Amino acid sequence: MRGARPALRGAALSAVVYALAAVIFSFPAVLAGPERIVGRNFDALGTVWVLQAAPRLLAGGLDPLTGWPAGAPLGRLDSWTLLPAGALFSWMDPARLHGALAIVGLAVSAFAAERAAVGLGARSPWSLIAGFCFAFSGLSATALLEGHSYLLLDPWLPLLGWAWWRCSRPEARPAHGLAAGLGFAGALFTSGYLGVVGALYVVVVGAAALWRGQLSARGALAALAVALPAAVLYLILAEGGPGYAAPGEWVDDVDRLAAGSAGSLQWGPPTAGIDLRDHSASVFLPFTALSLVGVAPRVLGRLPGWRALVAAGLLFALLSLGPLWWLGPLGAFTAPTAALAELPGAGAVRFPARLAWGSALCFGLVAARVATALAEGGAWRAAPLGIALLVDVFVVGGMPARLGQFPGGAPSLYAGRGAVLDLAPESLGDLDEVAALSTSLGCAFQASHGRPLPGFCPYRRDDRRFGEQRALLSALEGSPAGLLEALRARQISTVVLWADLFEAPDRRRLEDALLIVDPNPVASRSHGLYLRAYQVPPAVQP
Amino acid sequence: MTELADAPAHTVRIEVELGRALQARELRVAARWLGEDRALVLRDDGALPDYDIAGDGIFVGELQGEPLLLLPLEITAPSAAPWRGVVRLFGPEDSLRFGLSADGRLERSLARPAGALADPELPRLVAGYGWAALVLLYVFLLAFGPRRAR
């Protein structure tokens, strides 16, 4: 009982610190709502759409509001936790839910990592380092900027990290195995990438324990009893469960796999170029944590278990670099791990950079233990570690200054009934992001106006809308009657022209042609966009 | 929903670095801002004292208007193909930087060139890695310093 109060105080301190840090790190997520979607890249808009659409997507079958009129299967979804969250909180505005998930996710994940560090022998407040390294790294910044808020809500990997580490000790109990299995299952359903991280962690830490002859057979069997059914269920769903398409495109060439990998520079401080467009792929882990890991051999010496964690962390770092190593001006070199890209199923790991979540956890746990040991030589001497960590997270890491936002809701011209076709350029030379942005904005608008769209949501390169546009543009070359007929055949009630995004000659041609459809279009300058809505008149019945 | 009647103004500063070698008095920019055609002249005469030094080869100009998300631009410079594209804005103040590529094309730059440094990202990287070295030194002192060694 005497030890319970300081332990409780430590847990309360970390909960408060992480809650505060989460609000600051993700600002202005705390202000997200009907007027504001927080995120920098276009995927944030797709996530908001998924959250709003969750109840009807979970109902199974095709989504009636996208891929109009046939409906669309849901594809390319990495997480199975986003849909239940969206359905459970369907009473909330989806943009607000998106922001809340980010804040709660950061705080909960950090808290879980800190508790795992305490379980591995770290003491408060030094255990806080584990939570900051795991949940406030460049990986979290990337998830926030790109809008992958589900990646932030991950107490599962820390649970697995702690419980499986306990299974590798002589005093392990079956409950540790069950907890490890639960952690793996939670990580897998949160994201396939986190599932891969969890599986590799189990292999590395388990192999080290086997080598020492300390792996608990009862713990391992208990873990397997939970993890195996979860993995089978995941694979069944990925193979086409009710209402879902294939889990997403697989990458079958080394170059594309390399594009989703962490370059050596992405492990360093995030630069302005990282955020310029499309994605904000930074892996950056706090220098303070990495420095502490660097002195672990000196400080932790013969303490058990930390070497396996460092080995696992290094393995994840190596794998995150992908099959090609980019060495700045020296160019790209084939990595020693490149052969792994040829393994069956390796193509599903389209973004190897995300495997660095494993490094963030393992290095954070070791760093917290090292800091605890260093503080035994004088807490005040080690106190600047806390300041250095905060500088790493909030200054070097650049958050929350890097975060952007989009206007929420939808322009008023979307009010009405029937399907809406957003007419925006398919591609603008090297600025493909604009096609992704306009499509994703259209999806986010739909989360507010609720009218069917011919395109797919979230954005896909093979968006059906582009095919519809091409057909309509062909119809434009013919008679006005042909255009009207083409729109009616597709059961389109409104065409919204994203006029400014077209080059002047195309814009004039489109505006002239659409005046035949509706001579009195409604214009909007809301949401930072210039849009014109043309109502398609119904066919006159003979 | 963001309606624009009471929305704050949005400023977009455009900087094009041609260098001192290329002789030009001004550069022209054509833009579309919420349905309106806008023309902007970029100058290197120090008229925007906070952002421009006269004669340094960086041409600067500003566009202002109601909040904007996507800005279509066309920049015309002498002896270079025009740059055309749509830029994502974040507001309420955006700085867009362009420069000449090695083969003489206008291209988007990451950051304003800082003095003689060829890579505009370099100051940030140097600061970041300098900090890393400082932290590493401190941690090593903690781990290997005299008190720990005892």
**CA Rg value for chain B:** 21
Question: In the prediction, which pLDDT does A244 show?
Answer: 41
Are B31 and B79 contained in the same domain? yes
The answer to the question of residue B103 being in a domain is yes
Measured in angstroms, the CA of A216 and the nearest CA of chain B are apart by 34
| Contact at CB, A291 and B84, closer than 8 angstroms | no
Neighbours of B49 (CB within 10 A): 8
The mean pLDDT of A521-530, rounded to a whole number, is 94
| Contact at CB, B89 and A273, closer than 8 angstroms | no
Are B145 and B95 contained in the same domain? no
Residue A524, C-beta contacts closer than 8 angstroms, at least 6 positions apart: A411, A412, A413, A530, A531, A532, A533
| Contact at CB, A407 and B1, closer than 8 angstroms | yes
Write out the DSSP string of A58-121.
HT-S-BTTSSTTT-B-B-----SSHHHHHHHTTTS-HHHHHHHHHHHHHHHHHHHHHHHHHHTT
Closest chain B residue to A435, measured at CA: B86
Q: At what angle do helices A156-167 and A192-212 cross, to 10 degrees?
A: 10
User: Which chain B residues are Cβ-neighbours of A525 within 8 angstroms?
Assistant: 4, 34-35, 66
The answer to the question of residue B63 being in a domain is yes
Residue A280, C-beta contacts closer than 8 angstroms, at least 6 positions apart: A40, A41, A141, A142, A145, A146, A270, A274, A402
CB pairs under 8 A between A and B: 139
Helix (H) or strand (E) holding A334: strand A332-334
Measured in angstroms, the CA of B30 and the nearest CA of chain A are apart by 11
Which of A64 and B50 is assigned the larger pLDDT?
A64
Question: In the prediction, which pLDDT does A60 show?
Answer: 74
- Helix, strand and coil content of chain A, in percent to the nearest 5, comes to 60, 5, 35
Q: Which of A206-220, A238-252, A271-285 has the lowest mean pLDDT?
A: A238-252
The mean pLDDT of A7-21, rounded to a whole number, is 92
User: Which chain B residues are Cβ-neighbours of A409 within 8 angstroms?
Assistant: 1-2
Residue A247 pLDDT > 50, yes or no? no
| Contact at CB, B2 and A528, closer than 8 angstroms | yes
With an 8 Å Cβ cutoff, is A500 touching chain B? yes
Are B83 and B139 contained in the same domain? no
With an 8 Å Cβ cutoff, is A277 touching chain B? yes
Write out the DSSP string of A270-329.
PPGGGGSSS--------HHHHHHHHTHHHHHTT-SSHHHHHHHHHHHHHHHT-SEEE-GG
What percent of chain A shows pLDDT beyond 90? Answer: 51
**Measured CA angle at B75 (ends B71, B77), to 5 deg:** 170
Are B92 and B120 contained in the same domain? no
Nearest beta carbon to residue B35 from set A409, A437, A530: A530
| Contact at CB, A271 and B125, closer than 8 angstroms | yes
Helix (H) or strand (E) holding A239: none
Question: In the prediction, which pLDDT does A316 show?
Answer: 94
Structure tokens at A477: 């070359």
Question: In the prediction, which pLDDT does B141 show?
Answer: 92
Q: Where are the alpha helices (DSSP H) in A376-491?
A: 379-382, 384-391, 433-449, 464-477, 480-489
Q: What is the pLDDT of residues B29-81, one digit of tens each?
A: 999 999 999 999 988 877 777 777 777 778 889 999 999 999 999 988 877 77
Q: Which of A63-77, A207-221, A472-486 has the lowest mean pLDDT?
A: A472-486
Closest chain B residue to A503, measured at CA: B72
The mean pLDDT of A245-252, rounded to a whole number, is 44
With an 8 Å Cβ cutoff, is B84 touching chain A? yes
How far apart CA A509 and CA A496 sit, in angstroms, is: 15
Question: In the prediction, which pLDDT does A538 show?
Answer: 81
Residue A479 pLDDT > 80, yes or no? no
User: Which chain B residues are Cβ-neighbours of A521 within 8 angstroms?
Assistant: none
| Contact at CB, A272 and B124, closer than 8 angstroms | yes
User: Which chain A residues are Cβ-neighbours of B102 within 8 angstroms?
Assistant: none
| Contact at CB, A530 and B34, closer than 8 angstroms | yes
Question: In the prediction, which pLDDT does A478 show?
Answer: 65
**Structural domain span for residue B63:** 10-113
The residue behind tokens 């992001």 is A433
| Contact at CB, B125 and A411, closer than 8 angstroms | no
User: Which chain B residues are Cβ-neighbours of A408 within 8 angstroms?
Assistant: 1-2
Residue A289, C-beta contacts closer than 8 angstroms, at least 6 positions apart: A129, A132, A133, A363, A364, A367, A389, A392
User: Which chain A residues are Cβ-neighbours of B72 within 8 angstroms?
Assistant: 500-501
A503 contacts A436 by C-beta, under 8 angstroms: no
The mean pLDDT of A423-452, rounded to a whole number, is 82
- DSSP collapsed to 3 states, A288-301: HHHHHHHCHHHHHC
Question: In the prediction, which pLDDT does A245 show?
Answer: 39
Measured in angstroms, the CA of A292 and the nearest CA of chain B are apart by 6
User: Which chain A residues are Cβ-neighbours of B67 within 8 angstroms?
Assistant: 528
Sheet holding B26-33, edge to edge: B80-88, B70-77, B26-33, B36-43, B58-65, B10-17, B93-100, B106-108
What percent of chain A shows pLDDT beyond 70? Answer: 86
| Contact at CB, B34 and A529, closer than 8 angstroms | yes
User: For position B92, which CATH number holds?
Assistant: 2.60.40.2890
Task: Judge residue B36's burial from the number of C-beta atoms within 10 Å of its C-beta, 0-12 exposed, 13-18 middle, 19 or more buried.
Answer: exposed
Are B150 and B127 contained in the same domain? yes
Measured in angstroms, the CA of A230 and the nearest CA of chain B are apart by 41
Residue A205, C-beta contacts closer than 8 angstroms, at least 6 positions apart: A164, A165, A168, A308, A309, A312
Residue A265 pLDDT > 60, yes or no? yes
Residue A1 pLDDT > 80, yes or no? no
| Contact at CB, A503 and B84, closer than 8 angstroms | yes
Which of B110 and A316 is assigned the larger pLDDT?
A316
Which of A44 and A5 is assigned the larger pLDDT?
A44
A443 contacts A42 by C-beta, under 8 angstroms: no
How far apart CA A106 and CA A134 sit, in angstroms, is: 9
Which range of A56-65, A140-149, A503-512 scores highest in mean pLDDT? It is A140-149
Looking at this protein, which amino acid is placed at residue A270? P
Domain count within chain B: 2
Residue A401 pLDDT > 80, yes or no? yes
- How high is the ipTM of this complex? 0.82
Q: Which DSSP state fits A41?
A: S
With an 8 Å Cβ cutoff, is B110 touching chain A? yes
The residue behind tokens 């109840």 is A55
Share the mean pLDDT of chain A.
86
Residue B148 pLDDT > 80, yes or no? no
Are B100 and B142 contained in the same domain? no
Are B97 and B129 contained in the same domain? no
Are B76 and B61 contained in the same domain? yes
Structure tokens at A16: 């408060």
Question: In the prediction, which pLDDT does B113 show?
Answer: 41
Nearest beta carbon to residue B143 from set A299, A396, A409: A299
Measured in angstroms, the CA of B77 and the nearest CA of chain A are apart by 19
Nearest beta carbon to residue B121 from set A271, A404, A412: A271
Q: What is the pLDDT of residues A232-242, one digit of tens each?
A: 988 887 765 44
Task: Give residues 139 to 168 of A whose Cβ lies within 8 Å of B.
Answer: none
Structure tokens at B137: 């030194």
Residue A107 pLDDT > 80, yes or no? yes
Question: In the prediction, which pLDDT does A329 show?
Answer: 64
The mean pLDDT of A298-310, rounded to a whole number, is 89
With an 8 Å Cβ cutoff, is A404 touching chain B? yes
CA-based nearest residue to A453, from A426, A419, A496, A424: A419
Question: In the prediction, which pLDDT does A30 show?
Answer: 95
Q: What is the pLDDT of residues A70-85, one digit of tens each?
A: 888 776 567 888 889 9
pLDDT band at B150 (very low <50, low <70, confident <90, very high): very low
Cα torsion A351, A354, A355, A361 to 10°: value is: 180
Q: What is the pLDDT of residues A366-389, one digit of tens each?
A: 999 999 999 987 778 889 999 999
Write out the DSSP string of A419-441.
EEEEE--S--TT-THHHHHHHHH
User: Which chain B residues are Cβ-neighbours of A438 within 8 angstroms?
Assistant: 70
The mean pLDDT of A108-129, rounded to a whole number, is 95
Measured in angstroms, the CA of B123 and the nearest CA of chain A are apart by 10
Question: In the prediction, which pLDDT does A321 show?
Answer: 84
Task: Give residues 2 to 61 of B whose Cβ lies within 8 Å of A.
Answer: 2-4, 10, 32, 34-35
Are B102 and B121 contained in the same domain? no
Are B84 and B140 contained in the same domain? no
Question: In the prediction, which pLDDT does A261 show?
Answer: 64
Nearest beta carbon to residue B143 from set A374, A409, A500: A374
The answer to the question of residue B2 being in a domain is no
Structure tokens at B56: 């340094």
Mutate to test the interface with B, among A431, A501, A506 (most CBs of B within 10 A): A431
Are B35 and B80 contained in the same domain? yes
- The SS3 call for residue A187 is helix
**Cross-strand partners of A227:** none
How far apart CA A193 and CA A369 sit, in angstroms, is: 26
Q: What is the pLDDT of residues B86-141, one digit of tens each?
A: 888 887 888 888 887 777 778 776 544 433 334 556 777 788 889 999 999 999 99
